[in-house]
Chains A and B, each alone.
Chain A
Amino acid sequence: AQKITQTQPGMFVQEKEAVTLDCTYDTSDQSYGLFWYKQPSSGEMIFLIYQGSYDEQNATEGRYSLNFQKARKSANLVISASQLGDSAMYFCAMRGRYGGATNKLIFGTGTLLAVQP
């Protein structure tokens, strides 16, 4: 069975500093995808970044980067130069093998990030 674990219920970071949100996963699939979503208080899940299991380089999207360590089964999100608007809930998610029957997203329990001025 697939599982996502986020061990940090909440995190604080000072504005303009970098922060790392932890995510570990468990799967027996050889091919899978890892995602990070941001959920502000408005409720919408906003896609941030994607990493494929066969991608050789870590994914980056602007201030977001994904520190993918396949052997350790971790996919940590790094936010550089934090902004007040980054305060939100962050979810790590996994998708099973592309084209397979179980193509649903499995989410972790989330990390609440608070950016302090």
Chain B
Amino acid sequence: EAGVVQSPRYKIIEKKQPVAFWCNPISGHNTLYWYLQNLGQGPELLIRYENEEAVDDSQLPKDRFSAERLKGVDSTLKIQPAELGDSAVYLCASSLERGSEQYFGPGTRLTVT
């Protein structure tokens, strides 16, 4: 069974440029999560989807970050414009349902110069 797929694995952009990350969850997993992991820290939840509905986006900086999961399967996280402080690893995870175990993808390492 394929795991959570994320692309790209690495991205380097200049500040003020836009960037997008893509995540394809494990087949059949209804819940999808985006986490932000700063260097030397544990991941922090940005947004959680139940199917196509964003049910917890309280930690998402909505002035520059947006996310979508239009068909309730794969998801895109966007930053526009990127700032130097956005340099981090962006992890996607999925679970069968809200309370079950979360499986993580390999992450996208973003560097903003």
- Asked if A98 and B99 sit within 8 Å, CB to CB, the answer is yes
Q: Does B78 count as interface, using CB distance less than 8 angstroms?
A: no
Q: Chain A's nearest CB lies how many Å from the CB of B77?
A: 16
- A50-B93 contact, Cβ under 8 Å, with A4-B42, A105-B43, A105-B45: no
Contact partner, B98, options A45, A99, A109, Cβ 8 Å: A99
- A104-B56 contact, Cβ under 8 Å, with A98-B99, A109-B40: yes
- Asked if B99 and A99 sit within 8 Å, CB to CB, the answer is yes
Q: Which residue of B lies closest to A45 (CB)?
A: B104
Residues in B whose Cβ lies below 8 Å from that of A105 = 43, 45, 102
Interface size counted on chain A using CB atoms at 8 A: 23
User: Which residues does B use to contact A, with CB under 8 Å?
Assistant: 33, 40-45, 48, 56, 89, 91, 93, 98-99, 101-107, 109
**15 CB-based A-B contacts, threshold 8 Å:** A4-B42, A37-B104, A43-B91, A43-B106, A44-B105, A45-B43, A47-B101, A47-B103, A103-B48, A103-B56, A104-B45, A105-B45, A107-B42, A109-B40, A109-B41
Known interface pairs A37-B104, A46-B104, A50-B101; 15 further A-B residue pairs with C-beta atoms within 8 A, sorted by A's residue number: A43-B106, A44-B107, A45-B43, A47-B101, A47-B103, A91-B43, A99-B99, A103-B98, A104-B45, A105-B43, A105-B102, A107-B41, A107-B42, A108-B42, A109-B41
